[in-house]
């Protein structure tokens, strides 16, 4: 295995609101050169929020990238310098209105390491109390409560198609 | 929930080897306009290959986007027009040398639907027989066999940090 790909040249292609695209030319020991297209992303959190009666808080929203609505756990992007745990509490509140008494990191993963550095921090939130939502101007989200067993079936029959939501529900089934 | 975001304008920013970046201006009913930065990707497969004695075939390779090696299941990009099942058999063979007698789709997911249309097709491969690998010029991969229970522990203690690998191993634990 190669232990390093040395960056010989790095071209910034685009800097946007949620991502940056760059193309690196890398040198691989004894193997010459190659190009790597890389999408930089500031990272995100997903929240597996479970009510006292073992229901999972799910949200449904239109995702332009895939041109359809997806069923997901609440989630959001990390703001610059923001602590992931605080981000998780903030996003849960903003998207669903719930406050959580307990919040715990259960997994970290790279969504698509072949081309992006986006890292997702998955939190388990319990001790929920209801409150008011506070959505961004261009966010439109349906919130629902689903039995954990039913959510698990939604993963198995692939009604859930989002990576973080799949991981969160499978982990809940295994680890709670 | 919004059921559609109408594309008013679509600007192609970059067309590369593995991805395309575009920025869409969308109109949301009664809510005005917003920008969506979207990474188009042709899709990929991941292969959960299990030997007759219940070992999982894992690969380790350097991932430039995250600047470190990751432990993953064998995987690869779909070629244009390629059938995902054939892609799975091809990539398993190329990266690990294994041929599979049985191959079955177990899950489909979007790796990062907030900004990319990349879809991953996860296959279960069994009835494995060993053979020769055939790697791309810029691919350098270590192959290992790991007990399913140990792979599961690697997910729980987060030594596995890749989305498709996490999903595959959690599904194996639940569904096999």
**In angstroms, how far apart are the furthest CA atoms of chain B?**
59
Convert B108-141 to b/e letters by CB count within 10 Å (16 or more is b).
ebbbbbbbbbbbbbbbbbeebeeeeeeeeeebbb
**In angstroms, how far apart are the furthest CA atoms of chain A?**
59
Q: What is the pLDDT of residue A176?
A: 67
> For A158, which of B77, B108, B118 is closest by C-beta distance?
B108
Q: Does A139 touch chain B (CB under 8 A)?
A: no
Q: Does B173 touch chain A (CB under 8 A)?
A: yes
Tens of pLDDT, residues A29-52: 878 899 999 999 999 999 999 999
Using CB atoms and an 8 Å cut-off, which of residues 28-57 of chain A contact chain B? Answer: 28, 31, 34-39, 41, 44
How many alpha carbons lie under 13 Å from residue A48 in its C-beta half-sphere? 28
**Neighbouring residues of B138: CB distance < 8 A, sequence distance ≥ 6:** A28, A31, A34
Instruction: Examine the pLDDT at A133 and tell me if it is beyond 90.
Output: no
What is the bridge-based pairing of β-strands A32-40 and B55-63? Answer: unpaired
Token code pair at residue B45: 């497969």
DSSP B30: T
- Do the chains contact at A115 and B41, CB–CB below 8 Å? yes
Q: Does B157 touch chain A (CB under 8 A)?
A: no
Instruction: Examine the pLDDT at A138 and tell me if it is beyond 80.
Output: no
The end-to-end CA distance of chain B, in Å, is 36
Answer whether A154's CB lies under 8 Å from A144's CB. Answer: no
Using CB atoms and an 8 Å cut-off, which of residues 111-130 of chain A contact chain B? Answer: 111-120
Tell me the angle at which helices B163-175 and A163-175 cross, rounded to the nearest 10 degrees. Answer: 40
- Do the chains contact at A109 and B166, CB–CB below 8 Å? yes
Q: What is the pLDDT of residue B45?
A: 98
How many alpha carbons lie under 13 Å from residue B10 in its C-beta half-sphere? 11
- Distance (Å) of CA A52 to CA A34, A56, A100, A108, A169: 52, 10, 11, 25, 16
Q: What is the pLDDT of residue A93?
A: 96
- Residue B91 — very low, low, confident or very high, per pLDDT cuts 50/70/90? very high
How far is Cα B81 from Cα B141, in angstroms, rounded to an integer? 26
Instruction: Examine the pLDDT at A137 and tell me if it is beyond 90.
Output: no
- ipTM for the predicted complex comes to 0.95
For residue A39, is it left (φ>0), alpha (ψ between -120 and 50) or beta?
A: beta
Average pLDDT for B16-35? 93
Strands in A44-49's sheet, in edge-to-edge order, are A75-77, A44-49, A119-129, A99-110
Average pLDDT for B81-108? 97
- Residue A167 — very low, low, confident or very high, per pLDDT cuts 50/70/90? very high
What is the bridge-based pairing of β-strands A142-147 and A119-129? Answer: unpaired
Tens of pLDDT, residues B58-81: 999 999 999 999 999 999 999 999
- Residue B147 — very low, low, confident or very high, per pLDDT cuts 50/70/90? very high
Tens of pLDDT, residues A4-29: 899 999 999 999 999 999 999 999 88
| Element at A172 (helix H, strand E) | helix A163-175
The end-to-end CA distance of chain A, in Å, is 37
- Distance (Å) of CA A71 to CA A109, A160, A164, B1, B110: 19, 6, 11, 11, 11
Strands in B55-63's sheet, in edge-to-edge order, are B68-72, B55-63, B142-147
- Which residue ranges form the domains of chain B, and what is each CATH number? 6-40 (no CATH), 44-107+119-175 (3.90.79.10)
When the pLDDT of each residue in chain B is averaged and rounded to a whole number, the result is 94
Task: Find the range with the poorest average confidence among A104-108, A134-138, B55-59.
Answer: A134-138
Q: What is the pLDDT of residue B156?
A: 95
Question: Tokens 């760059």 identify what position?
Answer: A22
Answer whether B107's CB lies under 8 Å from A167's CB. Answer: no
Q: Does B9 touch chain A (CB under 8 A)?
A: no
Q: Does B106 touch chain A (CB under 8 A)?
A: no
Q: What is the pLDDT of residue B6?
A: 94
Read off the pTM: 0.95
Token code pair at residue B85: 């099942």
Q: What is the pLDDT of residue B20?
A: 98
Report DSSP letters for B74-88, one per residue: -EEEPPTT--HHHHH
């Amino acid at each position: 295995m190669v232990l390093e790909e040395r960056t010989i040249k790095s071209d910034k292609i685009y800097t946007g609101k949620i991502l940056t695209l760059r193309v690196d030319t890398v040198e691989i020991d004894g193997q010459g050169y190659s190009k790597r297209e890389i999408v930089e992303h500031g990272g995100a959190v997903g929240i597996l929020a479970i009510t006292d009666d073992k229901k999972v808080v799910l949200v449904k929203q239109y995702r332009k990238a895939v041109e359809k609505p997806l069923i997901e756990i609440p989630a959001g992007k990390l703001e610059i310098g923001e602590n992931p745990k605080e981000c998780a509490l903030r996003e849960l509140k903003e998207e669903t209105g719930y406050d959580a008494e307990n919040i715990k990191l259960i997994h970290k993963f790279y969504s698509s390491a072949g081309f992006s550095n986006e890292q997702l921090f998955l939190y388990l939130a319990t001790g929920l109390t209801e409150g008011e939502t506070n959505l961004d101007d261009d966010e439109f989200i349906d919130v629902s409560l689903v039995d954990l067993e039913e959510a698990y079936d939604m993963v198995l029959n692939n009604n859930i198609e989002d990576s973080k939501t799949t991981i969160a529900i499978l982990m809940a089934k295994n680890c709670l």
